[in-house]
């Protein structure tokens, strides 16, 4: 596995060691070509579908839907070497291990590479798995345009990955994705593995606050309509809201822009983003409503005009109990004891696959929780442990 991860990381590597394989660029194509060669060496039957997903299938003793694993190999502009790539490389490793022992499973197995998971160059993210699961029309995805003006369908053809297989034609019996955690929980707790039971629903809003620009020295405090003050109040409010709600609720103001943004002028405008996440959909809606009520309150109190625009709203995803239990049993049998169940704070292809088949995920630690960064690192033995649990979980599900 280490060799393959290194080979992928060496493509278009930045001076700081970062990976840059943005979806459907030449670097992505080189990564894909490598993965396809590994799949063929592992005697997988390789198919490309019309959104460019790569699916390698291994026959079982019976025909029918395969037990599928996989992830993505595209990265952000300064990505690490494990995000996505680990799940793909480990999936191929599972097949190699079975080949070496001449073990056939009852159901077929499949390893997939989904197109454009990161969504950096083309929106939306998790595009390949979304199209695969029927959540986005292929025609719409192919027409996506990047900021550099490239059309997704044309880029797909240019790099040789506009396949002919119908998206979602191979409907899996189950889907298990192995991924690095990309957060600090396992590393902090000194734990090797977790099973992911759900993913947070995400609410993104843009909040536009309009006040009145005026002189910072001559305007009395009680006569101000200060957009920056409004932005500060919202920032404090969402932090306290998340703390008060507890559970999996988190809240972030990731972007604030002031106009005119000058040292001695009261801001007439503040544009900020609010990111709210919760694995409980009702709680997430309640958080959105509380924020809305608070915005009305401060608009009134401060003489501000506040408008919101919804950018993203996704439902939480709950993974399949039977698959979760299988992963837990396999991990216990391999000597890991009782492993943690956790909520993923990041989006993953498995959440799209959960729309069409029982699905779940396995996490291994990210040292210091760092991801989307060249410093992303997971200990080799943890990579091995995760791949082993994946191997035995897939075998068990495929033989049921
Ligand atoms: Zn990923």
pLDDT value of position 221: 97
The alpha carbon of 72 and the centre of ligand 1 are apart by a number of angstroms equal to 6
The alpha carbon of 178 and the centre of ligand 1 are apart by a number of angstroms equal to 10
pLDDT value of position 118: 95
pLDDT value of position 281: 95
pLDDT value of position 53: 98
The alpha carbon of 85 and the centre of ligand 1 are apart by a number of angstroms equal to 8
The alpha carbon of 266 and the centre of ligand 1 are apart by a number of angstroms equal to 42
Mean pLDDT over the full length of the chain = 97
Mean pLDDT score, 48-70: 98
Q: Is the confidence at residue 290, as pLDDT, over 90?
A: yes
Q: Is the confidence at residue 312, as pLDDT, over 90?
A: no
Task: Indicate the pLDDT class of residue 306, thresholds 50, 70 and 90.
Answer: very high
pLDDT value of position 31: 98
HEC per residue, the chain = CHHHHHHHHHCCCCCCCCECCCCCCHHHHHHHHHHHHHHHHCCCEEEEECCCCEEEEECCCCCCCCEEEEEECCCCCCECCCCCHHHHHHHHHHHHHHHHCCCCCCCCEEEEEECCCCCCCCCCCCHHHHHHCCCCCHHHHHCCECCCCCEHHHHHHHCCCCCCECCCCCCCCEEEEEEECCCCHHHHHCCCCEEEEEECEEEEEEEEEECCCCECCCCCHHHCCCHHHHHHHHHHHHHHHHHHHCCCCEEEEEEEEEECCCCCECCCEEEEEEEEEECCHHHHHHHHHHHHHHHHHHHHHHCCEEEEEEEEEECCEECCHHHHHHHHHHHHHHHHCCCEEEEECCCCHHHHHCCCCCEEEEEECCHHHCCCCCCCCCCHHHHHHHHHHHHHHHHHHHHC
Residue 315: count of CB within 10 angstroms of its CB:
12
pLDDT value of position 345: 85
Mean pLDDT score, 246-257: 94
Task: Indicate the pLDDT class of residue 397, thresholds 50, 70 and 90.
Answer: very high
The alpha carbon of 344 and the centre of ligand 1 are apart by a number of angstroms equal to 11
Mean pLDDT score, 132-154: 96
The alpha carbon of 103 and the centre of ligand 1 are apart by a number of angstroms equal to 29
The alpha carbon of 182 and the centre of ligand 1 are apart by a number of angstroms equal to 8
Task: Indicate the pLDDT class of residue 186, thresholds 50, 70 and 90.
Answer: very high
pLDDT value of position 335: 97
Nearest to 57 by CA among 109, 13, 22, 121: 109
The alpha carbon of 215 and the centre of ligand 1 are apart by a number of angstroms equal to 48
The alpha carbon of 328 and the centre of ligand 1 are apart by a number of angstroms equal to 22
Mean pLDDT score, 285-304: 98
- Rounded to 5 degrees, what angle do the CA atoms 342, 347, 353 make? 90
Q: Distances in Å between the alpha carbon of 129 and those of 23, 34, 74, 171, 392? A: 14, 21, 13, 12, 24
pLDDT value of position 73: 98
Mean pLDDT score, 332-340: 97
pLDDT value of position 20: 95
pLDDT value of position 17: 92
Q: Is the confidence at residue 139, as pLDDT, over 90?
A: yes
pLDDT digits (tens, 9 = 90+) for 376-395: 999 999 999 999 999 999 99
Residue 364: burial class (beta carbons within 10 Å; 0-12, 13-18, 19+): buried
pLDDT digits (tens, 9 = 90+) for 79-93: 999 999 999 999 999
The alpha carbon of 112 and the centre of ligand 1 are apart by a number of angstroms equal to 13
pLDDT value of position 99: 98
The alpha carbon of 395 and the centre of ligand 1 are apart by a number of angstroms equal to 24
pLDDT value of position 292: 98
pLDDT value of position 147: 82
The alpha carbon of 87 and the centre of ligand 1 are apart by a number of angstroms equal to 9
pLDDT digits (tens, 9 = 90+) for 264-274: 999 999 999 99
pLDDT digits (tens, 9 = 90+) for 255-265: 999 999 999 99
Task: Indicate the pLDDT class of residue 141, thresholds 50, 70 and 90.
Answer: very high
Structure tokens at 354: 């959960």
The alpha carbon of 243 and the centre of ligand 1 are apart by a number of angstroms equal to 28
Q: Is the confidence at residue 323, as pLDDT, over 90?
A: yes
């Amino acid at each position: 596995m280490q060799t393959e991860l290194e080979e992928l990381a060496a493509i278009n590597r930045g001076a700081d060691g970062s990976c840059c394989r943005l979806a459907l660029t030449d670097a992505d194509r080189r990564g894909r070509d490598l993965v396809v060669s590994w799949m063929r060496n592992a005697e997988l039957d390789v198919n490309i579908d019309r959104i460019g997903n790569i699916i390698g299938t291994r026959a079982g003793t019976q025909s029918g839907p395969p037990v599928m694993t996989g992830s993505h190999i595209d990265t952000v502009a300064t990505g690490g070497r494990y995000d996505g790539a680990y799940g793909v490389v480990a999936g191929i490793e599972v097949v190699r291990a079975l080949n070496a022992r001449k073990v056939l499973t009852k159901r077929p197995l499949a390893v997939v590479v989904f197109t454009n998971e990161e969504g950096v160059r083309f929106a939306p993210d998790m595009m390949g798995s979304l199209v695969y699961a029927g959540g986005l029309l292929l025609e719409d995805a192919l027409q996506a345009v990047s900021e550099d003006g490239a059309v997704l369908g044309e880029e797909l053809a240019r790099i040789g990955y506009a396949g002919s297989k119908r998206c979602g034609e191979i409907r899996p019996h189950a889907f298990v994705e192995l991924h690095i955690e990309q957060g600090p929980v396992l590393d902090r707790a000194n734990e090797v593995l977790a099973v992911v039971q759900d993913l947070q629903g995400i609410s993104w809003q843009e909040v536009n606050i309009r006040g009145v620009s005026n002189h910072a020295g001559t305007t009395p405090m009680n006569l101000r309509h200060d957009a920056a003050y409004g932005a500060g109040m919202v920032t404090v409010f969402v932090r306290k809201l998340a703390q008060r709600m507890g559970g999996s609720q988190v809240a972030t103001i990731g972007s604030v822009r002031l106009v005119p943004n000058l040292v001695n002028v009261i801001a007439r405008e503040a544009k900020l983003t609010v990111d709210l996440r919760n694995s409980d959909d009702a709680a997430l809606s309640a958080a959105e409503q509380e924020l809305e009520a608070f915005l009305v309150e401060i608009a009134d109190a401060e003489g501000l005009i506040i408008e919101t625009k919804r950018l993203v709203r996704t439902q939480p995803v709950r993974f399949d109990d039977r698959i979760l239990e299988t992963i837990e049993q396999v991990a216990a049998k391999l000597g890991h004891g009782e492993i943690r169940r956790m909520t993923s704070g990041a989006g993953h292809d498995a959440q799209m696959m959960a729309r069409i088949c029982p699905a779940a995920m396995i996490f291994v630690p990210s040292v210091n929780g760092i991801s989307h960064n060249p410093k992303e690192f997971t200990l080799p033995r943890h990579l091995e442990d995760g791949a082993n649990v994946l191997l035995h979980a897939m075998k068990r599900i495929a033989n049921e």
